[in-house]
Structure 1
């Protein structure tokens, strides 16, 4: 509301001024030119209001820092200050997280030029920094120059080699560590990073070193740690990939509390050795014991069902179980179901599974549907799938394209055959 008026004259007796609302209203009504004109504005007056400002939100920890370790080192060098050991440790930790090999090499060079003698803890941090950056040659040089090594030092190098596919070097370091430093396996099991043994078992799989893996298993039995779930799953995987199902079953029977990983590892081992009937029996036993099943478990069993010549009967039962567990829409389960139904000529069921998760289809699902159409003589539908894959930016396997071309040459429409074969060849 706006009030516009000339300034009124001040009263002679402001204190004893009589206030009467009735007299004021009568005066305003009878006066031709009232002293006050009241206008009701239709617009909101433009007043400045105070706004409460929110405090600045903290930035995420994953944001890129404004300065790097090299910037900090240049600043300290310019000021002429000596770098404390804890500052070096913080900078090494920063390089470990960033995984920048150039910064790691520059920081280590600065530490060497400073003339300080790093403690064992800082040397272990430098090892871990190089390992995380993938600089295994620099890490090995630091490791060889260390006069004193603890289990952290050996663990960092062994894990680094195993992670960077240096399986032979990982095995050699482990054998050297056992021969010179840690003769008793109890020392390693007391160490909170017993995952060193897991890395070595993985290296034994890739190097086919069955003797060393069996020795590790014997050490674990001797130390009473063969029932550890984490180590047992690695042992089952080790024996299974080396084709020794008796050893894998022995480890499996020694574990009292079997989780999903252990059950699935046993299923995968039997599926790899083409013991598909045993896969179904293990899956049923897993259900009777109430073990939790995940998408990898179900997809592994479905791969075995695809190899059993029963017209898809076992596969339908596992499919029903996957529906109860809510795993049908998972990528691995969906693609294997499409392939299984296509394998037995149940193209309608395969297409129904293909349409369940239209947005989440992976390349394997598309290829399974394409293979199902080709192997059951649905060449036109296979061409449609090819067009859809082309739109989605996916490239089918060359073997499937060759099968489509052979199917199309058997059709009775020469023009369609010529165009389709030409397009399939271009794709």
Structure 2
């Protein structure tokens, strides 16, 4: 082509972007500048769409700087592309800076920003922005509702979720499988299984996504029998399960500790032709491990051509549950040798193995290694294991001292195993202090008084419970 104007350059850049050649698209943009071709709004929209890894953030920022030399930043389509670019790099504050300074905001822009917050774990900000959107009389689209419902589920906010559901109904939006599954997931996470069932029944067309959502909802709330029953109903309607359905059903089989049911589900997986990927493999390993079949658990792991952190965590935890501490430690060494990234759940398995074997020093070693060598922030599950290790070994004062160094919201989860250890070692002194702390936190929780009664069984019950001021 002898004459290459801005239209032809834009077409070439857009073609590269559409074909997935982001770096080449950016390179073409700079060549365009070298040839003194003046870019227009379309040029910047195309090249900003290319700005995502593997393109570097430095180059993306340079394009933004170049853009600021023109008068296109106020253009709503350019603004959307600019926000999308920063979200591609998970630079939410930069994206919001662009969003905030846009004089005109369309529903696409609101959707991008709310979805960006929701997808990156900034759920409160997603909900706050959604409320602002409503206040500015912007009509939400379906994608926004999916992101907002996801944020409600992550925050376990039933109140906000009910409000969003009401807005969906009033807006006349059809309860299609995507909206329906998001509502089901939200209500399940918030523990309202009655509304889970009601939403499911209200949706006329039930596809695999919707069936999977309700199976998963029941399974996540430990209603394993209902999850398995719904799975049977799903098969009866000739709807084909997907990998996520099978993962939830295998987890339900694990929950009811039924190896026979798990084997039937595994045969269904084989018959369906679905590949035994990482998600299914980790669920199978977990199921075999918790149902007492160590041989098949290890066989599934060995047969996998590729493994990831989730699968390694599953086999480590499975071996730990079987009390096979040596194999647990060996698998951990292999995991590190293969260069896989360990996480908090890896150390839950290791500490569980130490706990079952009564290996206090080894448990402390792995805990220290997690903090110093791997720089991982311990989860509450890690602290529960550590408290249990110390408690079972009779180091009750050390365990109790540790509880005081941790956030208050962890306390009840940590006090329960500690109180059980006090009972094992008949340590009434630590039990009394733990009990007083538990009652102050949750004076109405009956299980606390049951545990305390068990600890004080060596004394007359009335005298033991008389040491507590239940009215305070």
Structure 2 length as normaliser, TM-score? 0.62
Residues 1:129 and 2:77 aligned together: no
Shift of 1:278: 0.9
Instruction: Using the TM superposition, give the Cα deviation of residue 75 of structure 1 relative to its aligned residue in structure 2, in angstroms.
Output: 3.2
**Counterpart check, 1:261 vs 2:217:** no
Please say if 1:305 is aligned against 2:257.
Answer: no
CA distance in 2, matches of 1:366, 1:127: 37
Give 2:136's aligned residue.
180
1:235 CA displacement? 0.9
C-alpha spacing 1:63/1:138, structure 2 compared with 1 (3 Å): closer
| Alpha-carbon shift at residue 241 of structure 1 (Å) | 1.0
CA 1:227–1:125 in 2, change beyond 3 Å: closer, same or farther?
same
**Mapping 1:113-262, distance limit 5 Å:** 113-114=69-70, 118-182=74-138, 187-189=139-141, 194-262=142-210
Are the counterparts in 2 of residues 335 and 368 from structure 1 also a CA contact under 8 Å? yes
Structure showing greater radius of gyration is 1
Evaluate the alpha carbon distance shift between residue 71 and residue 208 of structure 1 in structure 2; reply closer, same or farther with a 3 A threshold: same
Q: Distance in 2 between matches of 1:134 and 1:375?
A: 38
Q: Deviations over 1:367-426 (max 9, x none)?
A: 54455555446667667756765664567944555665688799xxxxxxxxx99x9999
Contact 1:379-1:408 at 8 Å conserved across structures: yes
2:23/2:55 contact within 8 Å kept = no
Residues 1:317 and 2:254 aligned together: no
CA displacement 1:284-323 (0-9 Å, x = unmatched): 111111111122211211212122155x232232223223
* 2:59 aligned partner: 103
- 1:262 deviation in Å? 1.4
Q: Confirm or deny: 8 A CA contact 1:233 1:265 kept in the other structure.
A: yes
CA contact (8 A) 1:373 1:379 kept: yes
How many Å apart are 1:179 and its aligned residue? 1.6
Q: Count residues with an aligned counterpart.
A: 347
- C-alpha distance in structure 1 between counterparts of 2:41 and 2:128, whole Å: 33
**More moved, 62-71 vs 165-174:** 62-71
Distance 2:116 2:367 in 1: 45
CA distance in 1, matches of 2:153, 2:224: 23
Q: Deviations over 1:106-125 (max 9, x none)?
A: 33333333456743333333
**How far is the alpha carbon of 1:265 from its aligned partner?**
1.5
Query: Which deviates more from structure 2 when the two are superposed, residues 273-282 or residues 371-380?
Result: 371-380
Secondary structure of 1:113's match?
coil
Asked if residue 282 in structure 1 is aligned to residue 282 in structure 2, the reply is no
Which residue pairs with 2:281 in the alignment? 334
Tell me the TM-score normalized by structure 1: 0.67
Runs of 5+ consecutive residues of structure 2 not aligned to the other structure = 1-14, 370-472
Q: Can you give the 5+ residue segments of structure 1 that lack an aligned partner in the other structure?
A: 1-57, 411-419
Give me the whole-angstrom Cα distance separating, in 2, the residues matched to 1:117 and 1:401: 53
Residues 319 and 328, structure 1, Cα contact 8 Å, conserved in 2: no
Moved more, 320-329 or 150-159: 320-329
Other structure's SS at 2:206 match: coil
More helix as a share of residues: 2
Q: Residue deviations 1:182-236, cap 9 Å, x none?
A: 3xxxx445xxxx2011111122223343333212212322344342111111111
